[in-house]
């Protein structure tokens, strides 16, 4: 209960910061729409037109009036209308979210499987050749920024094997059937997921390995060995199970951050996810879109923290007592 | 003989310190040894490596080796400045006060820390960096305000542990004042943790700066490693050539080498001093 109040307080503060911050800066969306040197929009607005637009979007109201309407909109989960796209922010996020979820979830599942397999066996053979190689490799790989991994993969795999590296599907393609469409989506997903996998797997691996090393020293492992259990059973059912708690918490808290954190990978592959929407919103100073995205991303972080707490209690009921 | 023994016992510490010293040396002195500066455009644009330009030239004819060396300076400057601001100005004071004073102050400060911890970090950095006018100082500030909470947490739990330890009680029993406690008990025990978190934050700041420069919201006038990759992929024809060998690979090796040196130096400091960031003892 206390935690829930904390989360609500955090949530409220974050949404407030996001509301006031852009309004404290110089420039507004219409300055950027009318003379944006880098954008593809070239319209020139007279000062009167800008003023009319500001009035239309309510941006010349006193800040507190804007703020109260912002909060009352948020309470109804209405994120407003994007100024740049002229679409409702809810619908924009809804159209981008499935792609991000596809990327993050499939990548995370691969990462988790590989890291459990590698981490468990690495800790089992601590300081042997296998462990040293995997540990060293993971330390190096985790230091390469994800966008560099992504660019490297494009050059290596796209250049030589012709795997598509832009977008989430072939534009203007005519599909012969549903399977054809799925195949197209999957081949476009291949490189982003590989980049995601490479840049997350070593972090998960280190958490699994550390947890395993702790639990392998516990007396119940000795008991299990004395009972003559099969090694695989000791590794996964006894030792890994005991270290499941920190790992699950880590995975779930990380998941919330990853939804917004894949922005680098999405931007390299021009993947139409939520992450690339953020940079578009920032570049165009699209206040409602920025606020809406931030509201949404903070919500995912808080929800994933909450679910981590819930899972924690479910896995280990002693926490409640 | 003693030196050899020390090196043998602390291989990781010595190797990572030497690697870091190499990077810092290249960043400080490297530009004095290259025949060109970052402002010179001595060659034809987009040339393959030659004797004159070991890593070729970029799209305006700059020497890529000069750009790489210049990038080390930018990365280290931003990394170290953000590290110092985050750790010394925010993380350590907040964490120490919270752990030492406890009670209401602790609760309030930790509420504040939790708040900053549950902000989606990367989107927040991008939104703020995009709104502030792009400059090195703003990049440092943005990294600072988003990284301090984890440092504050570590310092808090360590301070709390020291406060509860027997030797502080004994010292108080002998009539030690707060200043004495701070100088003789808290400071020496906290120092290794302070250095290791300084190294950790420096590393993560270098990573973040590279990302921001790559997205095009860093300082457009500086030529950092992230910016080099951005310039490379903005020219799609470079995908089909061998340009990655002299325009992508050196940057990857440089940044991962630097970050690896920082991380293993921090790691070995923790190992030698016996503290770990999670507050556990090994």
Q: Tell me which DSSP letter residue B209 carries.
A: H
A227: which 2 tokens?
A: 């009972």
Q: Which has the higher per-residue pLDDT, A219 or A60?
A: A219
Q: Is B53 left (phi over 0), alpha (psi -120 to 50) or beta?
A: beta
Task: Say which residue the tokens 């972090």 belong to.
Answer: A203
Q: Check if B28 contacts A (Cβ < 8 Å).
A: no
Q: What angle separates helix A178-216 from helix A146-153, to the nearest 10 degrees?
A: 130
pTM of the model: 0.86
CB distance B144 to B90 below 8 Å: yes
- Res. A35 pLDDT band, cuts 50 70 90: low
Interface subset of A 140-199, CB within 8 angstroms of B:
140, 143-148, 151-152, 154-155, 158-159
Q: What is the predicted pLDDT for the residue at B48? A: 77
Architecture per CATH, domain B2-43+52-273, reads as Orthogonal Bundle (1.10)
Q: DSSP for A251-276?
A: HHHHHHHHHHHTHHHHHHTT--SHHH
**E strands, B98-139, where?**
none
Over residues A143-184, the pLDDT tens digits come to 888 888 888 888 888 777 778 877 778 877 778 888 888 888
- Within 8 A of B128 by CB-CB distance, chain A residues are 21
CB distance B32 to B9 below 8 Å: no
pLDDT at A244 over 60: yes
| Environment class of B18 (CB within 10 Å of its CB; exposed 0-12, middle 13-18, buried 19+) | exposed
Q: Check if B215 contacts A (Cβ < 8 Å).
A: yes
- Res. A28 pLDDT band, cuts 50 70 90: low
3-state secondary structure of B48: coil
- Count Cβ atoms below 10 Å from residue A140 Cβ, excluding itself: 14
- Count Cβ atoms below 10 Å from residue A122 Cβ, excluding itself: 25
**Which of the residue ranges A20-24, B13-17, B143-147 has the most confident prediction, judged by mean pLDDT?**
B13-17
pLDDT at B278 over 70: no
Max Cα-Cα span within chain B? 75
- Res. B120 pLDDT band, cuts 50 70 90: confident
Q: What is the predicted pLDDT for the residue at B25? A: 92
Find the Cα–Cα–Cα–Cα dihedral A67, A68, A69, A72, rounded to 10°: 120
Express as a percent the part of chain A with pLDDT over 90. 21
- Res. B275 pLDDT band, cuts 50 70 90: low
Q: What is the predicted pLDDT for the residue at A25? A: 65
Residue A299 CA neighbour count, 13 Å, CB half: 10
Handedness of CA A97, A100, A104, A107 (dihedral sign): positive
Q: Chain B residue closest to A12 (CA)?
A: B115
Q: What is the predicted pLDDT for the residue at B276? A: 57
Q: Domain map of chain B by residue range?
A: 2-43+52-273
Handedness of CA A133, A135, A136, A142 (dihedral sign): positive
- Res. B280 pLDDT band, cuts 50 70 90: very low
- Within 8 A of A302 by CB-CB distance, chain B residues are 118
């Amino acid at each position: 209960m206390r935690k829930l109040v904390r989360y609500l307080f955090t949530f409220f503060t974050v949404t407030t910061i996001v509301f006031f911050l852009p309004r404290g800066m110089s420039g507004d969306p219409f300055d950027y729409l009318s003379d944006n040197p880098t954008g593809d929009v070239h319209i020139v607005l007279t000062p009167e037109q800008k003023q009319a637009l500001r009035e239309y979007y309510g941006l010349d109201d006193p800040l507190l009036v804007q703020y109260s309407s912002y909060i009352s909109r948020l309470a109804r989960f209405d994120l407003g209308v994007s100024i740049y796209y002229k679409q409702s922010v809810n619908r924009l996020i809804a159209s981008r979210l499935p792609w991000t979820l596809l990327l993050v979830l499939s990548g995370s599942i691969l990462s988790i499987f590989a890291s459990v397999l590698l981490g468990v066996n690495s800790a089992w053979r601590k300081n042997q050749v296998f462990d040293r190689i995997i540990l060293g490799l993971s330390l190096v790989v985790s230091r390469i920024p994800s966008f560099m991994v992504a660019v490297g993969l494009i050059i290596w795999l796209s250049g030589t094997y012709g795997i598509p590296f832009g977008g989430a599907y072939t534009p203007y393609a005519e599909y012969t059937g549903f399977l054809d469409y799925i195949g197209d989506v999957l081949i476009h997903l291949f490189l982003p997921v590989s980049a995601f996998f490479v840049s997350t797997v070593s972090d998960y691996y280190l958490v699994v390995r550390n947890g395993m090393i702790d639990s392998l020293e516990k007396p119940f492992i000795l008991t299990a060995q004395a009972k003559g259990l099969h090694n695989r059973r000791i590794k996964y059912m006894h030792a890994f199970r005991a270290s499941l708690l920190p790992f699950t918490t880590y995975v779930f808290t990380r998941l919330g951050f990853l939804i917004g954190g894949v922005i680098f990978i999405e931007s390299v592959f021009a993947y139409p996810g939520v992450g690339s929407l953020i940079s578009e919103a920032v570049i165009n100073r699209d206040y409602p879109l920025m606020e809406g995205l931030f509201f949404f991303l903070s919500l995912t972080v808080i929800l994933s923290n909450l679910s981590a707490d819930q899972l924690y209690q479910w896995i280990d009921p002693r926490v409640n007592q | 003989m003693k030196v050899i023994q020390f090196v043998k016992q602390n291989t990781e510490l010595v190797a990572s310190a030497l690697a870091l010293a190499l990077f810092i040396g290249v960043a400080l002195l490297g530009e004095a040894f290259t025949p060109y500066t970052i402002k010179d455009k001595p060659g034809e644009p987009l040339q393959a490596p030659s004797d004159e330009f070991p890593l070729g030239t970029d799209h305006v004819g700059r020497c890529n080796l000069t750009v790489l060396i210049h990038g080390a300076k930018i990365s280290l400057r931003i990394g170290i400045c953000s590290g110092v601001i985050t750790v010394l100005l925010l993380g350590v004071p907040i964490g120490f006060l919270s752990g030492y004073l406890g009670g209401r102050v602790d609760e309030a400060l930790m509420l504040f820390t939790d708040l900053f911890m549950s902000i989606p970090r990367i989107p927040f950095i991008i939104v703020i960096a995009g709104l502030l006018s792009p400059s090195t100082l703003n990049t440092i500030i943005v990294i600072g305000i988003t990284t301090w909470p984890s440092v504050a947490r570590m310092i808090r739990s360590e301070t709390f542990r020291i406060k509860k330890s027997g030797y502080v009680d004994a010292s108080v029993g002998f009539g030690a004042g707060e200043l004495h406690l701070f100088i003789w008990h808290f400071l020496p025990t906290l120092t290794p943790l302070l250095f290791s978190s300084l190294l950790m934050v420096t590393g993560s700041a270098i990573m973040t700066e590279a990302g921001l420069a790559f997205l095009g919201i860093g300082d457009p006038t500086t030529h950092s490693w992230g910016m080099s990759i951005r310039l490379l992929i903005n020219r799609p024809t470079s995908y089909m050539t061998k340009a990655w060998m002299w325009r992508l690979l050196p940057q990857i090796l440089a940044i991962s080498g630097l970050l690896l040196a920082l991380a293993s130096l921090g790691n070995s400091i923790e190992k030698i001093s016996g503290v770990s960031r999670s507050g556990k003892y090994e």
